[in-house]
Amino acid sequence: MANLFAIEPGMAIAINDPGILPITFVIGNWGGYPVRNAIIQGFSISTRGNYQFLHTLRNFTYVYVFGEKMGDITVTGQTFVGSCDYYNWSGVSNTIGYYAQNAISWIGAPIYIAVGLAVFYGFLVGLDLMLQNPESRLGKFTLKYRSIAG
């Protein structure tokens, strides 16, 4: 699988060396650049414990732990507005298509998200998409997931 890097506005270069990136990041059903005409540039993962502290009048502190709360996973990237293929599929329409096919309202099941050896499962609950730079025909997207504790 090729890794894409921007070299100037509107242009990117593909590097086919899998050992160049410091971390492996995979999203279920994404398919990469050849399928989406979009590249993932970043992610954030936020998790929280589900707990309660009880302070008593005798200076005792009790801790109640109820497992983990649902977390938030955000994936950001660039879409390429133009297209070179016959069907005129652009990164914008492919990213919208990914959301439509994998949203919680459509499939009702979690999608795996792997960061290195750690695997998370999350429901795709939101998409933000904007034309970032009309001159270079680049768009920006944010996929929002709610992760399952476990």
Assigned CATH topology for domain 30-110+121-147: Elongation Factor Tu (Ef-tu); domain 3 (2.40.30)
Mean pLDDT throughout 47-61?
94
Q: What is the pLDDT of residues 76-126, one digit of tens each?
A: 988 887 655 555 567 788 888 899 999 999 998 999 888 888 889 999 999
Residue boundaries of the structural domains of the chain: 30-110+121-147
Please state whether the predicted TM-score (pTM) of the whole model is above 0.95.
no
Q: What would the two tokens of residue 41 be?
A: 């540039």
Residues near 62 by Cβ (< 8 Å), separated by ≥ 6? 53, 54, 56
Give the residue carrying structure tokens 């954030």: 44
- Categorize the per-residue pLDDT at 5 as very low, low, confident or very high, splitting at 50, 70 and 90: low
For residue 101, the SS3 value is helix
- Categorize the per-residue pLDDT at 29 as very low, low, confident or very high, splitting at 50, 70 and 90: confident
**What is the pLDDT, as a whole number, of residue 82?**
65
